[in-house]
Amino acid sequence: MEKKTILELKNVRKVFGQIVALDSVSFALKRGEIHGLLGGNGAGKTTLMNILYGLYRKDEGEILLRDQAVSIQGPRDAINQGIGMVHQHFLQISNFTVLENIILGTDVKNKYTMKMDQEAEKVKELCQRFGLNVNLNDMISTLTVGARQKVEILKALYRGVDILILDEPTTNLTPQEVDALFVSLRVMVNDGLSIVFITHKLREVLSVCDRITVLREGKNITTLDRKDASEEVFVRAMVGEKMDIENSIYFATEVRQTFDRTSVEAPKLKLENVNLISQDGIPRLKDVNLEVFGGEIVGIAGVAGNGQRELAEVVTGVVPVSNGKKIYLGDDVTSKTNEDLLSSGFSYIPEDRLSDGFLPKATVAQNLILGQHRIKPYSDGRFINWKTVYAETTKNIKEYNIKTNGPGDIGGNLSGGNIQRVLIARAFSMDSQVMVAHNPTRGLDIPSMDFVYQKMLARREAQLATLLISEDLDELMRISDRIAVIFRGQILGVLARDEFDKYAIGRLMSGITSENQPTEEKNLP
């Protein structure tokens, strides 16, 4: 049976300043399908859907909903027309219950008593129908990310939408939660809903979507049925002609050699029973023991907010250790400040690039030497050698593909991805003994991500130590030699490369330590 097109976007164009975010993009959604919107960062996926949801105005083009031209002025408008969107960052009130969050902003039958039995009934029915199991009386703050996402989907369903847009829904979900989500999505489309699934993860669209549209640099590349196309076609469509896929790490398939630690005597960095108690007395890190050897990439997996940031800041000396020991090249550096550590061989790519890593009012050159401004060749300790700095910066701009007017350009003029490249160039431009990289590829397109991976492997070759903290489990499994899983500030387990199993890691990520045997990959419906 040929499915009917329910929604169509035609020749949509959107320009931000001088950047063309969308260039005549068309997109058609059929009733009862899961339509993947695939592309790297900056491809324009989210922009396109934000236009549909009424968050942005389009400059040109039209939107046809059930064969009628519509103009969507805002999210309320979109919801009234039957379009719901689940964003990457949930908009929820954490000290309200699940039910309260779902019905917030809608009319309640018993306005004066606020008895919500009827509404609860309706939500419960939705939960059952779509296999979205959440307890309606739980407080949002007690829920996992996966459960909070279910709440967000229920919010849209409760409002009676029949088109659901999911923006990178699998970020921060454990593999088990991802599987459950996919099952629910399938139930929804069988029930007549249509779903747009925005992602940059190829494997996910291949496993769950019926049709796939690929965007690249704001342009339509192709739309294909899942069953008509092979993985290679999509890979090529995503990255373009220029990238060398054969030698890429992003798409690598062959098994890499496990790191052989017997050849190295001592770790470059060692944490011994490190504890961190925050200012308000809450323990953030509990008895963390971790070794990073030279020539090794150690990955830290975990759902965001389980102590990753604290771990990065403790290692780099941004915050002092409350308890325990830090050993660097055999010396106790527990009480050293970040000033000392940065000048003695540490480099750091912080997670929150805008707040923790970048000087928007300073020049690109000034940004590139931040943290290394006291050491050679940039400085003799008193004066900064701007000639060398500018020469290095010019070199780095080229090597790291930073789009800017030059070393003297003001940092605030750069786009997010380019700011990330500045941070990466800063950290990689010196051969630091220990690098702490926290979500280093966030906001980068695939060729740039691949470049970062190449750089990390080069560090591995050069016998340097790298601690990679990432929320992207695929990334960690692609490149790490060992993966340590962090849960509520504790390292629950460390797996070597030959033991990598995403379900085992997923269980640890949700705090389950017993029966840690690798399981067989579940078949998806």
Task: Measure the N-to-C terminal CA separation of the chain; round to a whole number of Å.
Answer: 20
Stretch that binds other proteins, among 32-40, 47-55, 72-80, 341-349 (CB under 8 A): 341-349
- Residue 18: CB minimum distance to other proteins, A: 12
Given the complex with other proteins, which of 74 and 360 has the nearer CB atom? 360
Rounded Cα distance, 381 and 384, in Å: 8
Given the complex with other proteins, which of 135 and 337 has the nearer CB atom? 337
> For residue 350, what are its two tokens?
């912080």
Site track 352-391 with other proteins (rule: CB under 8 A), x = hit: ---xxxxxxxx---x--xxx-xx----x-xxxx-x-----
Q: Kindly state the number of chain residues that form the binding site for other proteins, as judged by CB under 8 A.
A: 34
CB 292 within 8 A of CB 466: yes
Site track 411-450 with other proteins (rule: CB under 8 A), x = hit: x---------------------------------------
> For residue 321, what are its two tokens?
């250790």
Helix (H, G, I), strand (E, B) or coil at 218: coil
- Please pick, from the candidates 343, 388, 401, 463, the single residue that binds other proteins as defined by CB under 8 A: 343
Residue 66 sits in the site that holds other proteins (CB under 8 A): no
> For residue 507, what are its two tokens?
């269980």
Q: Which residues contact 341 (CB under 8 A, 6 or more apart)?
A: 316, 317, 328, 333
Q: Which of 501, 453, 458, 504 is nearest to 479 (CA)?
A: 453
Q: Which of residues 238-267 bind other proteins (CB under 8 A)?
A: none
121 CB burial (10 A radius; 0-12, 13-18, 19+): exposed
Helix (H, G, I), strand (E, B) or coil at 494: strand
- Residue 437: CB minimum distance to other proteins, A: 14
Given the complex with other proteins, which of 248 and 367 has the nearer CB atom? 367
Q: Which of residues 303-322 bind other proteins (CB under 8 A)?
A: 313, 316-318
- Residue 426: CB minimum distance to other proteins, A: 9
- Residue 404: CB minimum distance to other proteins, A: 13
CB 355 within 8 A of CB 422: no
Q: In which element (H, E) is residue 364 found?
A: helix 364-369
- Residue 414: CB minimum distance to other proteins, A: 14
- Please pick, from the candidates 125, 231, 339, 431, the single residue that binds other proteins as defined by CB under 8 A: 339
Q: Which residues contact 119 (CB under 8 A, 6 or more apart)?
A: 99, 103, 108, 109
Q: List interacting residues with other proteins (CB under 8 A).
A: 313, 316-318, 337-343, 348, 350, 355-362, 366, 369-371, 373-374, 379, 381-384, 386, 411
